[in-house]
């Protein structure tokens, strides 16, 4: 079980080891520690995995191929603190799942509570070269590995080719062109918008400061530095604030019925989003088959190719499992075997963490929904240009919720997005200090 000294060591190694935890004031809360059980000849290992992704086809294939290691999938709420709270409670109660899907931004929170198993001790580090380095590093703390990377969400620009041509609008290559295109679409369409602005999605919004070169979280020694109001973040906030003020974007929450209806009807002509949203658009706007295309995000500097990421998850082996070796074997197969990846791609789980030849996978095929475009070529380039210095804190769940609360007030007419980020910066610092961590604002 991690000791307080070990927790403090994570912070000291943060800058060199990837995402780290500095000056942790909590102790690990697992009621049962991971201990590898020796199986008798012929004895099966039974593993339970909690996830919100439809993994059943891939898991069924594993179970057919590995009769001695059987995996049961149990579904938990997606992208909510409720699902994560259930995981924390299970670890603290001594009845955790063997594996759990955990988003990259939430991994530091689970490390802070001692909920993850050090899988370096079971050979995980020998598998590192099979994965994209920046995704692998999301599960590394102070040189030890605690989760296997699963998938990410490199950003791109989904747009309706037919509507852009109908209204004689150029696909924007820069953010200045995005604003100009937004004006034309509003004027020429009779009620459509270039994009939505979802107030309750801090992860989506954060991808734009990330692309611009901001670093909301970093460490200096054992202190967390919070910077939501640096030049890059102010530039992004002012840009979107102007679009909202001028009525050029639709203030509606993404991934809800009104959003999908807007995609289906053409009320939304485009959407800057993550690769994994291809399945959501296809599944919720079937009447638009053949009309969509994908290109890279608009750029702040013409000719640049800066990108960022929205989403992404790891397969973590939880503290308390009796079968860490078997869990690691399954997690590696799930996230790297070509036959598994093809099934997961069909389920819309995101951009694979495993290195792969795009042309030889399901991701490399021309897609009729996107007019025959090999659209994942765009996301492969995007993935290569993600700024890998972006980090997450162990308080991301509550801190991002504060951004969303502030954005809601902006849309209700109280202040601007720059003000919302300034207020959220103070809350970020308070959240970290409440965990017993050293923290300060950058300015």
Give the model's pLDDT for residue 376: 95
Residue 400 CA: distances (Å) to CA of 190, 230, 395, 432: 35, 17, 8, 13
Give the model's pLDDT for residue 88: 92
Give the model's pLDDT for residue 29: 64
Q: Provide the CATH topology of domain 4-152+310-384.
A: D-Maltodextrin-Binding Protein; domain 2 (3.40.190)
How is residue 370 annotated by DSSP?
A: G
Contact 31, 320 (CB under 8 A): yes
pLDDT tens digits for range 311-362:
999 999 999 999 999 999 999 999 999 999 989 888 777 899 999 888 878 8
In the predicted model, residues of the chain with pLDDT beneath 70 are 1-29, 79-81
pLDDT tens digits for range 16-60:
334 445 334 344 567 788 887 777 777 899 999 999 988 999 999
Give the model's pLDDT for residue 17: 36
Residue 276 CA: distances (Å) to CA of 3, 176, 347, 364: 38, 26, 10, 14
Sheet holding 438-441, edge to edge: 217-220, 223-226, 438-441
Which residue carries 């593993």 as its tokens?
A: 47
Give the model's pLDDT for residue 397: 86
Give the model's pLDDT for residue 26: 40
Domain with CATH 3.40.190.10 in the chain: 4-152+310-384, 154-308+390-441
Q: Which two tokens stand for residue 31?
A: 């009621």
Give the model's pLDDT for residue 81: 61
Q: Which CATH number fits domain 154-308+390-441: 1.10.8.50, 3.40.1350.10, 3.40.190.10, 3.40.50.2000?
A: 3.40.190.10
Give the model's pLDDT for residue 79: 60
Pairing mode, strands 351-352 and 292-295: unpaired
């Amino acid at each position: 079980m991690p000791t307080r000294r070990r927790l403090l060591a994570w912070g000291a190694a943060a800058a060199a080891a990837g995402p780290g935890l500095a000056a942790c004031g909590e102790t690990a809360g697992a009621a049962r520690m991971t201990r590898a059980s020796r199986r008798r000849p012929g004895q099966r290992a039974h593993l339970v995995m909690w996830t919100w992704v439809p993994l059943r086809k891939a898991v069924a294939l594993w179970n057919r191929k590995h009769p001695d290691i059987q995996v049961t999938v149990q579904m938990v709420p997606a992208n909510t603190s409720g699902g994560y709270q259930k995981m924390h409670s299970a670890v603290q109660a001594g009845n955790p799942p063997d594996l759990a899907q955990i988003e990259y931004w939430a991994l530091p929170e689970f490390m802070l509570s001692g909920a993850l198993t050090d899988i370096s001790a079971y050979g995980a580090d020998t598998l590192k070269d099979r994965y994209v380095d920046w995704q692998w590093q999301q599960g590394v703390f102070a040189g030890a590995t605690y989760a296997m990377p699963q998938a990410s969400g490199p950003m791109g620009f989904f747009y309706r080719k037919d509507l852009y041509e109908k209204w004689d609008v150029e696909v924007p290559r820069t953010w200045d062109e995005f604003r100009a295109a937004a004006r034309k679409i509003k004027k020429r369409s009779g009620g459509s918008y270039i994009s939505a602005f979802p107030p309750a999605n801090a992860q989506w919004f954060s991808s734009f400061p990330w692309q611009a070169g901001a670093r909301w979280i970093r460490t200096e020694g054992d202190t967390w530095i919070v910077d939501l109001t640096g030049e890059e973040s102010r530039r992004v906030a002012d840009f979107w604030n102007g679009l909202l003020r001028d009525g050029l974007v639709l203030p509606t929450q993404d991934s809800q019925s009104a959003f999908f209806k807007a995609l289906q009807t053409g009320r939304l002509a485009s959407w800057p989003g993550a690769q994994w949203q291809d399945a959501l658009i296809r599944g919720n706007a079937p009447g638009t088959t053949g009309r969509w295309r994908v290109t890279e995000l608009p750029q702040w500097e013409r000719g640049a190719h800066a990108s960022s990421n929205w989403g992404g998850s790891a397969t973590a082996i939880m503290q308390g499992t009796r079968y860490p070796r078997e869990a690691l074997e399954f997690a590696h197969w799930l996230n790297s075997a070509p036959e598994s990846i093809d099934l997961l791609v069909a389920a819309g789980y995101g951009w694979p963490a495993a290195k792969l030849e795009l042309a030889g996978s399901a991701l490399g095929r021309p897609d009729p929904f996107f007019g025959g475009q090999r659209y994942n070529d765009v996301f492969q380039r995007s993935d290569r240009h993600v700024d890998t210095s972006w980090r997450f804190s162990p308080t991301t769940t509550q801190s991002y919720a504060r951004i969303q609360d502030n954005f809601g007030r902006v849309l209700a007419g109280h202040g601007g997005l720059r003000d919302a980020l300034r207020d959220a910066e103070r809350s970020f610092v308070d959240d970290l200090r409440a965990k017993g961590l050293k923290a300060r604002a950058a300015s």
